[in-house]
Amino acid sequence: MIKNTLWMTLCGIFFVGNLAFAQMRGWEVGGFVGGANYFGDLNTNFRINRIQLAGGGAARFNFNDRLALRLGVHAGRIEAYDSDATNIFEKSRNLSFRSPIADAAFQLEFNFMPYIHGHREFYYTPYMFTGPAVFFFNPRTQLNDTWYDLRDYGTEGQFKGEEYNSIQGAIAYGFGFKMDLSYRWSMNLELSARRIFTDYIDDVSGVYPDSRDLRNLRGEVAPALSDRSGEPKLGTNGRQRGNGKKNDAFVFLTVGAFYYFGNIRCPTISR
């Protein structure tokens, strides 16, 4: 699926670069604000009770009234708590995290309807988009009023130097709706998701490590961060801690305003 998405994106870029009948060309630049939400091992039932503030900006080049390329950045925070779960195991596991999120995405955008700034009829459209992205994350948790960077403590037995990378790739995709506010200004409402290539955005994926080995390798606090359950303890060596068969994900829901720098062009008439 990911390979097909990338292939479609590359084909689309080649296609739009060869169009000669554009009615609307030019740059748009804008900003947006909204919320971010995480789904993964600490949110398996798709809760949306921990939406956090997010925002960003983007530059879009319109090839015509249907197709555009966009480079955008997002920044925000995500978090989740096992205490919110209804699953008995997850409640007993008692893990939690919060993480900053910052990403950049290069996307091909397709308007379902013709969209022309200042036009009496074609001044709005739903649209879809997809493209590659890269993002940064750093899961943290609080223990005894102190915040810890979980990656530094190898909570699933990672050896030093073999921790998961905090910069990862993703496929950005989603849907939106854009509408003119004036000839130059437009409003964009957008739901943007990330299919990511890691299961460690929440620091949870595999099994519990041996607590004695973890203590020797990472210090006294590491076992306490790895196993937050009460009595009886869940964290026996090799017991399932997360679901490594399915990667985590996060989404942005934003609203923003864009300013159009281009001009409306009449299509070329062949002789």
Round to whole Å and give the CA distance between 12 and 29. 21
Q: Which residue has the higher pLDDT, 110 or 7?
A: 110
Is residue 147 pLDDT above 90, yes or no? yes
Is residue 190 pLDDT above 80, yes or no? yes
Integer CA distances (angstroms), 119 to 91, 147, 245, 260, in order: 55, 53, 49, 14
Among 63-67, 107-111, 115-119, whose mean pLDDT is lowest?
115-119
What mean pLDDT is reported for the chain?
Answer: 90
Q: Which residue has the higher pLDDT, 240 or 118?
A: 240
Residues recorded for the chain: 271
**Tens digit of each residue's pLDDT (9 = 90 or more) over 152-183:** 999 999 999 999 999 999 999 999 999 999 99
Pairing state between β 67-81 and 96-111: antiparallel
Mean pLDDT of 58-86: 96
Is residue 45 pLDDT above 80, yes or no? yes
The SS3 assignment for 123 reads coil
What sign does the dihedral 240-241-243-244 (CA atoms) show?
negative
What is the structure's pLDDT at 10? 45
